[in-house]
């Protein structure tokens, strides 16, 4: 266990405090620093900064009562050090809490940790900031107590929820993922081939990010594939490496030409990733398949026109001709020809 100590805390005392807090820390929680603090009601012996919260504690108390005060990342709204007698005031959703008095040197030591906790609570921090030259915490009292720089506490527990196959992910690769996802989003699976690239699977998409170092470039070339675009996902067996290939509706474009839709993988990964690749294929298939309904609306009734004119039409026309004949407007011959024509037309239809 390694942590930084304020100037008035010896390594021996810090080790004793760490042992006292160990049973009451949460799984995966790490202590970053110790500061001696003065508070009488409730009596507080010291302050511990962890990668998850600020803890005021009394090391000689019984275990359940050892933590006297606490404020966790996500609940912290502000941390102030009041002028005059330096008092550490922490504002949370429940109100302002006085964590006790600290000296000027302790306040200076605490400042980077305070900034970290506030930024982490706001959701804008993935790792502890490096201490600037203007605000530098005192050097630790022993070699096994590193300063704040190079510690990455906040999202490592979130990262631990991701199944990672292949090589461990470095910070640069995690940074690529962080830049392409939401603040509370995390891939559920990663397949990583160190020095080549990685595949990261989210709930609605997957990313293939390939290192450009082998091509003389810098950084990663990352391509996004929505599940709704994916036709199939293949894992081809090669002599040296297997090749994972994502086929989409928009393949045969630039993504396929520069092989951005492929990722070479070590052969030993094939059996390890098989189940999750099947899950990927299922997600892509479900996203591509439109909902199917067996119900069909009834057909509209068809209106069929009769092929023959109704009989009353024939009678009506003959009556009209008869009226003309009675009035002397047509001759016997004309009446007979007209009547035959009318009958013939109705017979054809």
**Is residue 199 within 8 Å of 210, Cβ to Cβ?**
no
Q: How many separate domains does the chain show?
A: 3
Specify whether 108 is located in the same domain as 36: yes
CATH of the domain at 231: 2.30.29
Specify the pLDDT at position 324. 81
pLDDT tens-digit map of 125-146: 444 444 333 333 333 333 333 3
Specify whether 23 is located in the same domain as 86: yes
Instruction: Examine residue 140 and state whether it is found in any structural domain, yes or no.
Output: no
Instruction: Examine residue 137 and state whether it is found in any structural domain, yes or no.
Output: no
Specify whether 223 is located in the same domain as 271: yes
**Is residue 94 within 8 Å of 77, Cβ to Cβ?**
no
CA 225 centroid distance within chain = 14
Specify the pLDDT at position 55. 92
Taking the alpha carbons of 165, 170, 176, 180 in that order, is the dihedral positive or negative?
positive
Name the domain boundary from 288, 303, 336: 288
CA 158 centroid distance within chain = 12
Specify whether 336 is located in the same domain as 272: no
| Phi and psi angles of residue 346, each rounded to the nearest 5 degrees, phi first | -70, -30
Instruction: Examine residue 35 and state whether it is found in any structural domain, yes or no.
Output: yes
CB atoms within 10 A of CB 302: 5
Instruction: Examine residue 170 and state whether it is found in any structural domain, yes or no.
Output: yes
Smallest Cα–Cα separation from 186: which of 174, 171, 170? 174
Instruction: Examine residue 114 and state whether it is found in any structural domain, yes or no.
Output: yes
pLDDT tens string, the chain, 349 residues long: the values are 578 888 888 989 999 999 999 888 887 788 999 998 888 777 888 999 988 889 999 888 887 788 888 988 878 888 888 876 778 889 888 888 889 888 888 888 888 888 888 877 766 444 444 433 333 333 333 333 333 434 444 455 456 567 888 888 877 788 888 888 877 788 889 998 888 899 999 989 999 998 887 666 677 888 889 998 888 898 888 777 888 899 887 655 544 445 788 888 888 887 788 878 888 888 888 886 655 555 556 666 666 555 555 556 777 888 888 888 888 788 888 888 888 888 888 776 5
Distance CA 261, CA 246 (A): 5
Instruction: Examine residue 231 and state whether it is found in any structural domain, yes or no.
Output: yes
**Is residue 118 within 8 Å of 79, Cβ to Cβ?**
yes
CATH of the domain at 81: 2.30.29.30
**Helix ranges, the chain (H):** 11-21, 104-121, 156-159, 171-179, 254-257, 269-288, 311-326, 332-348
**Which structural domain, as residue segments, surrounds residue 52?**
4-121
Name the domain boundary from 121, 143, 177: 121
Specify whether 177 is located in the same domain as 281: yes
pLDDT tens-digit map of 159-185: 656 788 888 887 778 888 888 887 778
Distance CA 7, CA 54 (A): 19
């Amino acid at each position: 266990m390694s942590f930084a100590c304020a100037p008035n805390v010896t390594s021996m005392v810090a080790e004793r405090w760490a042992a006292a807090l160990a049973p009451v820390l949460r799984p995966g929680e790490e202590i970053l620093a110790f500061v001696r603090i003065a508070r009488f009601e409730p009596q507080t012996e010291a302050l511990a900064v962890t990668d998850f919260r600020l803890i005021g504690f009394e090391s000689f108390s019984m275990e359940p009562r050892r933590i006297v005060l606490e404020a966790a990342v996500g609940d912290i709204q502000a941390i102030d050090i009041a002028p005059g007698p330096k008092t550490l005031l922490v504002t949370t959703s429940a109100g302002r809490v006085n964590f006790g008095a600290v000296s000027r040197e302790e306040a200076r030591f605490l400042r980077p940790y305070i900034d970290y906790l506030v930024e982490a609570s706001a959701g804008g921090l993935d790792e502890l900031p490096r201490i600037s030259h203007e605000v530098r915490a005192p050097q630790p009292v022993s070699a096994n107590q590193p300063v704040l720089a190079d510690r990455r506490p906040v999202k490592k527990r979130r990262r631990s929820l991701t199944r990672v196959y292949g090589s461990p992910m470095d910070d640069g690769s995690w940074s690529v993922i962080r830049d392409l996802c939401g603040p509370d989003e995390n891939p559920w699976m990663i397949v990583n081939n160190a020095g080549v690239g990685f595949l990261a699977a989210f709930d609605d998409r997957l990313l293939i990010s390939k290192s450009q170092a082998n091509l003389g470039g810098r950084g990663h070339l990352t391509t996004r594939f929505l599940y709704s675009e994916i036709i199939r996902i293949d894992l081809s067996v090669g002599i040296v490496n297997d090749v994972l290939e994502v086929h989409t509706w928009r393949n045969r474009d630039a993504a396929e030409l520069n092989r951005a839709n492929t990722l070479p993988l070590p052969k030993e990964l094939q059996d390890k990733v098989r189940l999750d690749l099947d899950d990927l294929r299922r997600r892509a298939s479900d996203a591509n398949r439109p909902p199917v309904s067996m119900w069909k609306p009834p057909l509209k009734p068809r209106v069929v026109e009769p092929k023959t004119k109704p009989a009353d039409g024939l009678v009506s026309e003959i009556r009209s001709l008869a009226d003309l004949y009675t009035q002397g407007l047509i001759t016997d011959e004309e009446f007979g020809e007209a009547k035959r024509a009318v009958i013939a037309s109705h017979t054809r239809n």
